[in-house]
């Protein structure tokens, strides 16, 4: 009943597309992460103009579907003559670069809010203590605020990373042949939807599992003080 | 400038009415998805909370698959898989040729199944947040299970899950844009058609995006009001001023 040859063949073709998916994921994670730092810095800067810009950014990129953002950048920007003649066109012409750009812009909006949540969770007393011992603002950020805030963010960030892996599938709609794109091609050619779906789903589930596991280990590693203490050696009965 | 007004207007050459209709279709699709999702979500939440191991495994499997696999892939499964299934059933009853599945149905089902996996977590959290003491009190005065569910459990679960449902609704609203790949003329697809036929890609994708933003903004307001109304009977505290 089960056609193992077809399953293996499909799995092989889909696995060949995994590097594309991973490339989209890591590039957009990196760019989006850096961008989100800038946005959260603006958001908490205290300057009304910068703060409102960051609010607007988050609102727009979290409030509209990723697909329309992708099409706006890939098809929409090409409409203008000056964009096509500018050096930017070298980047905006390629579907892969457009997909990375859109994914990065979108994930930056979500990540900025996660980071802001982490910043708000830094106890005020710790910041005051740092100031009281005469730390400079930069040292305070590096030694006190960043470590506490980043660790607080990790659980929410791992959710966002999984959402980003799932979002890379949209790149297939602008002709980037990632796992979903290849799966769709095979489905349209063979009409064996269930088998292809199972293979592609398995690949995504494994990727997400590894990602969640990795970030979970990192979180575990970074919060030794929150773990239950290892049970100490049994206390020796002391002779008085 | 005049061109733009004419293009987005409601005249013969304008796309205004098509876009508004498409916006309504997006809302209808998301609403149906939310309803389908509430059924699946409630069932999965119940399975995950069940004392039976088999049911818990099924619940976990559902959550893992629908939350871990890209939405687009799930939509392909329902769209292509649904057609294959219906064609097979059709041939069984003697129909000829290929039968396509209605895109709205596929869309509502796909968005609903995905939304269901997220709703299940919301309902499960809400159930666990209902005070155990109240349930014990109801049992101790001999309340039958059905009455306990209706009078004690359901009203609280509904109130506690409202903020989470607001998030799921927004997510489904954005997922519904992916149904455009099946050719259903909802907001995303209509923006695409308008952009293609007028060659004004930028304009129409911006307009489409703004309409989505209006929808998310509006639904924020609605859920905010609903939460305030449901919270009237609650004691005021930090989270609920």
* pLDDT tens-digit series, residues A129-145: 999 999 998 999 999 99
Identify which of B181, B188, B200 has the shortest CB distance to residue A79.
B200
Alpha helices in B50-153 (DSSP H): 53-68, 71-92, 103-129, 132-140, 145-148
Alpha helices in chain A (DSSP H): 4-16, 18-43, 48-63, 66-71, 81-85, 89-92, 95-120, 124-132, 137-140, 146-167, 179-190, 193-222
Interface probe, candidates A56, A67, A120, chain B, greatest B C-beta count within 10 A: A67
**Where do the structural domains in chain A lie, given as residue ranges?**
4-223
Q: Both tokens of residue B43?
A: 């069932």
- For B52, counting Cβ atoms within 10 Å of its Cβ (0-12 exposed, 13-18 middle, 19+ buried), the class is exposed
Q: Are B112 and B44 in contact (CB under 8 A)?
A: no
* pLDDT tens-digit series, residues A20-37: 999 999 999 999 999 999
Residue in the structure block whose two tokens are 């791992």: A158
**Residues in chain A within 8 Å Cβ distance of B201:** 71-72, 75-76, 78-79
What is the nearest CA distance from B184 to chain A, expressed in angstroms? 15
**Residues in chain A within 8 Å Cβ distance of B194:** none
Kindly give the parts of chain B with pLDDT less than 50. 241
**Residues in chain B within 8 Å Cβ distance of A170:** 70, 72, 178
* pLDDT tens-digit series, residues A3-12: 888 889 999 9
What is the nearest CA distance from A76 to chain B, expressed in angstroms? 4
- For B125, counting Cβ atoms within 10 Å of its Cβ (0-12 exposed, 13-18 middle, 19+ buried), the class is middle
Q: Are A7 and A196 in contact (CB under 8 A)?
A: no
Q: What's the pLDDT score for residue B102?
A: 85
Give the right CATH number for A4-223 from 1.25.40.420, 3.10.20.30, 1.10.3720.10, 2.40.50.100: 1.10.3720.10
Chain A nearest-CA residue for B178: A67
Q: Both tokens of residue A153?
A: 């963010």
Q: Are A48 and A119 in contact (CB under 8 A)?
A: no
* pLDDT tens-digit series, residues A88-115: 888 888 899 999 999 999 999 999 999 9
Q: What is the mean pLDDT of residues A16-21?
A: 94
Binary contact (B178, A180; C-beta < 8 A): no
* pLDDT tens-digit series, residues B104-132: 998 999 999 999 999 999 999 999 998 88
CB-CB neighbours of B8 under 10 Å: 17
**If interface means Cβ-Cβ distance under 8 Å, which residues of chain A face chain B?**
59-60, 63-69, 71-72, 75-80, 162, 165-170, 172-173, 180, 183-184, 187-188, 191, 193-194, 197, 200-201, 204-205, 208-209
**Residues in chain B within 8 Å Cβ distance of A205:** 64-65, 68-69
Q: What's the pLDDT score for residue A197?
A: 93
Residue A233: which pLDDT band, with cuts at 50, 70 and 90?
A: low
Provide the Cα torsion A29, A30, A33, A39; round to 10°: -120
HEC-encoded secondary structure of A126-148: HHHHHHHCCCCHHHHHHHHHHHH
**Residues in chain A within 8 Å Cβ distance of B64:** 205
Q: What's the pLDDT score for residue B200?
A: 86
Q: What's the pLDDT score for residue B235?
A: 60
Q: Which residues contact residue A140 at a Cβ distance below 8 angstroms, ignoring those fewer than 6 apart?
A: A127, A130, A131
Residue ranges of domains in chain B, CATH in brackets: 2-233 (1.10.3720.10)
Which of B21, B3, B9, B11 is CA-nearest to residue B199?
B3
């Amino acid at each position: 009943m089960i056609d193992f040859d077809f399953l293996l063949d499909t799995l092989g073709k889909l696995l060949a597309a995994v590097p594309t998916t991973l490339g989209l994921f890591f590039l957009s994670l990196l760019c989006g992460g850096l961008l989100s730092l800038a946005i959260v810095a603006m958001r908490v800067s205290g300057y009304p103009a910068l703060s409102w810009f960051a609010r607007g950014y988050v609102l727009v990129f979290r409030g509209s579907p990723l697909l329309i953002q992708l099409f706006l950048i890939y098809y929409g920007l090409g409409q203008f003559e000056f964009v096509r003649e500018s050096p930017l066109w070298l980047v905006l012409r390629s579907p892969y670069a457009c997909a990375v750009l859109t994914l990065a812009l979108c994930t930056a909006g979500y990540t900025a809010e996660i980071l802001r949540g982490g910043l708000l969770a830094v106890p005020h007393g710790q910041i005051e203590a740092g100031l009281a011992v005469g730390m400079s603002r930069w040292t305070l950020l590096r030694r006190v605020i960043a470590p506490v805030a980043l660790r607080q963010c990790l659980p929410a960030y791992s959710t966002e990373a999984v959402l980003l892996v799932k979002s890379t599938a949209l790149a297939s709609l602008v002709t980037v042949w990632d796992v979903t794109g290849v799966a769709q091609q095979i489905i349209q050619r063979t009409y064996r939807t269930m088998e292809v779906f199972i293979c592609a789903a398995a690949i995504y589930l494994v990727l997400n599992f590894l990602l969640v596991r990795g970030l979970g280990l990192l979180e575990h590693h970074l919060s030794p003080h929150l773990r239950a203490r290892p049970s100490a050696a049994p206390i020796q009965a002391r002779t008085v | 400038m005049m061109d733009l007004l004419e293009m987005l207007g409601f005249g013969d050459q304008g796309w205004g009415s098509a876009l508004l209709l498409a916006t309504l279709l997006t809302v209808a699709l998301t609403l149906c998805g939310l309803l389908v999702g509430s059924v699946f979500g409630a069932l999965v939440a119940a399975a995950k909370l069940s004392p039976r191991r088999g049911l818990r495994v099924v619940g976990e499997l559902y959550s893992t698959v629908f939350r871990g696999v890209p939405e687009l892939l799930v939509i392909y499964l329902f769209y292509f898989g649904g057609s294959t299934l219906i064609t097979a059933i059709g041939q069984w009853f003697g129909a000829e040729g290929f039968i396509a599945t209605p895109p709205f149905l596929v869309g509502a089902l796909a968005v609903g199944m995905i939304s269901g996996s997220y709703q299940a977590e919301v309902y499960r959290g809400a159930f666990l947040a209902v005070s155990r003491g109240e349930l014990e009190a109801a049992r101790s005065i001999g309340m039958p299970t059905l009455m306990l569910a209706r009078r004690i459990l359901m009203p609280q679960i509904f109130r506690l899950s409202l903020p989470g449902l607001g998030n799921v609704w927004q997510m489904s609203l954005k997922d519904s844009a992916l149904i455009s790949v099946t050719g259903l003329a909802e907001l995303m697809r209509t923006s695409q058609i308008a952009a293609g036929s007028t060659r004004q890609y930028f304009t129409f994708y911006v307009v489409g995006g703004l309409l989505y933003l209006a929808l998310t903004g509006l639904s924020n307001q609605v859920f905010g009001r609903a939460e305030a109304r449901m919270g009237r009977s609650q004691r005021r505290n930090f989270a609920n001023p």
